[in-house]
Chains A and B, each alone.
Chain A
């Protein structure tokens, strides 16, 4: 249906009003809700992801596109059962205990959402026990931990240890990030992955779930 391409363009352009209007029009014309999502909204967002990676789009534009996609999703969502909602995977996200740094983690969260993941952002200063409780509650595919300090990054190891104790380490894959984190550190603490920035965190999550 020609309308899908136009809808994708609306997402790429970050035009919320246009996306709302086109989504509604497609529904009225009898398009399948899942097709509207996959061929219109998500298709547009994939192009946004690729353009960001190539340096052709910047963070604010990506976020505008994500917002536009969200406004379309809102209209379609009531027409689909929750279980049928397309999601690449669920990521539980948080900054470790004793660390109040928020911005980097939030950028990762926004980029993951833009990339089609369901993100549960626990916030900052999250103790190992809180991560474990949230994993039990939400059953995520991936736990993503952030730390900005060489002192607080030690809590990443504590959390991974606790996951093992609780027998959760087979159920969830752990990734880590933040200024003092490196691949070596990730290997040392037994994390499944490390990403140096928000965009590569999305790629990492996709790779881990494939």
Chain B
């Protein structure tokens, strides 16, 4: 018998960018910006809701008193769960320090995994992408990896959702063109879940909207946010901001600008319906001053989002992060470096729901080879954050003693028992050179591409019952598109 006191163990890695004091300072600066500078809402219903709640509304400019922001931070639901669409099983607990990973939405273009041709995303490309996401063990949820464009563009979101729900039972984050598209997608989700209340109890979809930085909430975004709150469905609000373009060039300034926009969205959500589940998003990066792109591979992206994760933990609200993406136009060494750095860093930061795996070409073109590579990187990254268990069994003094100098550990029962805890790669090559050469001497991207082919050709996602699929088809076929800027 042994007594041991004041013993502390790390069950995982520990990483922080901002201290609690710094988090507080950044949040207070954002709250001050909301109160002093405010943001603009291009939506009458939102302006009415905010005015009624006590915000200072001056035309479309809304300044939010600090007490309302503080109340919204208290009232939003902190426990957000996303479920399996077929079984309702509660799968993702988007809270605390849990980190989940998935793909990104809305790329206009995609690269065909069979022909390598870069083309506009289609129903088929989204179906293929969703199958790949469904098959990969480290991918936790699905975003579409493309805007369907072989259908009337104003109703593309309904077609996109149909392809997603047909090809995966993992939770889906759906990005709709506008409030009407979102209404239809919620209807489809309610049919799948078995009703409005069933969907609310076990939500398998998560809604998504984004402001236009700096500080502008367009009508579609505000309406989607209001609808999400009314339906009490988890809703992500994610500013995509560029240091030096739509925000100050300084990292702290970016944090303030981004938080000001996110938290203004939170206030709208909570003033619409107190307690509505809200997920604070962020794609914070730099405007590349050489090329003017919104960079998806810049180290500042990873740094800023890890800092945002610190703020999310400080505020105790769920967060939507970004990882697994690249500025590279093809899946090459640059793509691997940028995706791996972002995944490792984001995973260590404990950001909850992380998207954009599979983005290439600074977010304009999805690539399934990169998704498969990212799945392997995720396996490694998750091993990295597991920490090292230190106890009598793992210290293994008895085994060391038994085997002795010059002995072999391979045949020991202890080895057989524990070896499987170590990471077993499924994609990267560790074979001897001759064996690798005999297998075709393939690069990682080639192996990943073959895996994409295999999944598309042979993987069978859990099917959606036929009668439900028919009802969904019906909604898609009867969808009515709304031209942006009209219907005011």
Contacts and interface: CB of A to CB of B under 8 A. Distances in A.
Interface of A: 55, 58-60, 97-104, 107, 125, 127, 149-152, 154-155, 179-180, 182, 197-199
B289 A152 contact: no
B108 A100 contact: no
B328 interface: no
27 contacts: A55-B290, A59-B289, A60-B244, A97-B484, A98-B483, A98-B484, A99-B485, A100-B42, A100-B212, A100-B218, A101-B212, A103-B242, A103-B245, A107-B245, A107-B292, A125-B485, A149-B484, A150-B149, A151-B154, A151-B156, A151-B178, A151-B484, A154-B154, A155-B484, A155-B485, A179-B108, A180-B108
B246 A103 contact: yes
Contacts of A182: 109, 120
B486 A98 contact: yes
**Interface pairs A-B: 6 shortest CB-CB:** A98-B484, A98-B485, A58-B289, A180-B108, A97-B485, A59-B289
A198 B292 contact: yes
Interface of B: 42, 108-109, 120, 147, 149, 153-154, 156, 177-178, 212, 216, 218, 242, 244-246, 287, 289-293, 364, 483-486
B248 to A, nearest CB: 12
Contacts of B42: 100
A104 B292 CA distance: 8
B108 A152 contact: no
Instruction: Decide if the interface of chain B is mainly helix, strand, loop or mixed.
Output: loop
Contacts of A97: 484-485
B241 to A, nearest CB: 10
A155 B292 CA distance: 25
Given A150-B156, A154-B153, A180-B108, A99 B289 contact: no
A60 B38 CA distance: 27
Given A101-B212, A180-B108, A152 B484 contact: yes
Nearest to B147: A150
Contacts of B149: 150
Contacts of A99: 484-485
Given A99-B484, A103-B245, A150 B292 contact: no
Nearest to B484: A98
Nearest to B181: A151
A150 B216 contact: no
Nearest to A62: B289
A107 B245 CA distance: 9
A22 B485 CA distance: 49
Count chain B CB atoms within 10 A of each CB in A97, A103, A151, A179 and give the residue with the most.
A151
B108 A150 contact: yes
Contacts of B218: 100
Nearest to B364: A179
A55 B291 CA distance: 8
Given A103-B242, A150-B108, A151-B483, 14 more contacts: A55-B290, A59-B290, A60-B289, A97-B485, A98-B483, A98-B485, A99-B485, A103-B287, A150-B147, A150-B149, A155-B484, A155-B485, A179-B364, A199-B292
A127 B246 contact: no
Contacts of A179: 108, 364
Contacts of B147: 150, 180
Contacts of B292: 59, 104, 107, 197-199
A151 B177 contact: yes
Contacts of A125: 485
A100 B291 CA distance: 22
B172 to A, nearest CB: 20
Contacts of B291: 197
Contact of B485 (A59, A152, A198): A152
B152 to A, nearest CB: 10
Contacts of A59: 244, 287, 289-290, 292
A58 B484 contact: no
Nearest to A178: B108
Nearest to A179: B364
Nearest to A149: B484
B177 to A, nearest CB: 5
Contacts of B177: 149, 151
A209 to B, nearest CB: 23
Contacts of B178: 151
A149 B212 CA distance: 12
Count chain A CB atoms within 10 A of each CB in B246, B289, B486 and give the residue with the most.
B289
A123 B218 CA distance: 15
A104 B240 CA distance: 14
Count chain B CB atoms within 10 A of each CB in A97, A98, A199 and give the residue with the most.
A98
Nearest to A185: B120
Nearest to B157: A151
Contacts of A127: 485
Contacts of B245: 103, 107
A58 B290 contact: yes
Nearest to B121: A150
A154 B292 CA distance: 24
Contacts of B246: 103
A30 to B, nearest CB: 40
A107 B153 CA distance: 27
A98 B244 CA distance: 25
Nearest to A126: B485
A47 to B, nearest CB: 17
A55 B484 CA distance: 37
Contacts of A55: 290
A107 B290 CA distance: 12
A103 B292 CA distance: 10
Given A125-B485, A150-B156, A152-B485, A100 B244 contact: no
Nearest to A148: B212
B483 A154 contact: yes
A152 B212 CA distance: 15
